[in-house]
Structure 1
Amino acid sequence: MSGTTIYGIKNCNTMQKAMAWLDTHSIAYIFHDYKKQGADEAILKEAIATHGWETVINKKGMTWPNLPDEAKTSMNERKAIETALDNPSIIKRPLLAHEGKTYLGFDEAVYQTIFN
């Protein structure tokens, strides 16, 4: 994992803010669209190893409530990976991969630190 790749979906407001920030600061990046390309298993596993599945899986979004109750109550790391690969919209956005590290969500101050 080198360079900068941002993972998510185009119509997500947080994604739009993050990409606008990158554009404004002239930072080159690759956009990986979950809707067209699905989730990247290696990056997903790296993010879960770094941040924990409980952080990577977005329980506040619209995908989580639509999961069967049994899937939610029995969720663990392995099941989180399977669920996210099947339903990439459940992954917290944006997922940013930069210089061998992963970052979740968009926080302008964090991005400023990452890219300085």
Structure 2
Amino acid sequence: MHRKTRHMSNPPLTLYGLKNCDTCKKAMQALTAADHEVAFVDIRAEADLPDRVPAWLKAVGAEALVNRRSTTWRSLTTDQQAQALGDGAAALLIEHPTLIKRPVIDTGADILVGWTSGTEQALKN
């Protein structure tokens, strides 16, 4: 008797990013190549940031979520930058979605930020 083994696909993921972001494109390609089912959500146009940002901040903190290499970061005042890394993070990230480090990947169990070897490793486990 021959038994067929069914290939178990990875759990579905949601990738929050920008359509024109090279890092987001790279992450999307790698995830789909690794048999992940990925839903892409544009953080400027489609994401419910007032709902998402507080949850992301709770999960990973402002240090991880705020993109301090962005043009948006450099355009903030010193006071706003301090706010972005403190109690005012949620309001600033919602007002300036490009201040969010990308991609933000929701696995259903975890929130992963950025496309790094650590993120890739976390998704393999």
* TM-score above 0.5, yes or no: yes
Q: 5 Å matches for 1:31-110?
A: 31-38=40-47, 40-108=49-117, 110=119
Could you tell me which runs of 5 or more consecutive residues in structure 1 were left unpaired when the two chains were aligned.
Answer: none
Residue identity (%):
24
Scaled by the length of structure 1, what TM-score is found?
0.84
Deviation at residue 16 of structure 1 after TM alignment? 0.8
Which is richer in helix? 1
1:6 corresponds to which residue?
15
Deviation at residue 81 of structure 1 after TM alignment? 0.4
Structure ranking higher on relative contact order (CA contacts 8 Å, 6+ apart) = 1
Matching of residue 19 in structure 1 with residue 28 in structure 2: yes
Aligned alpha-carbon RMSD (Å): 2.1
Scaled by the length of structure 2, what TM-score is found?
0.78
Deviation at residue 7 of structure 1 after TM alignment? 0.4
Deviation at residue 47 of structure 1 after TM alignment? 2.0
Q: Helix, strand or coil for the counterpart of 1:114?
A: helix
Separation in 2, partners of 1:69, 1:91: 17
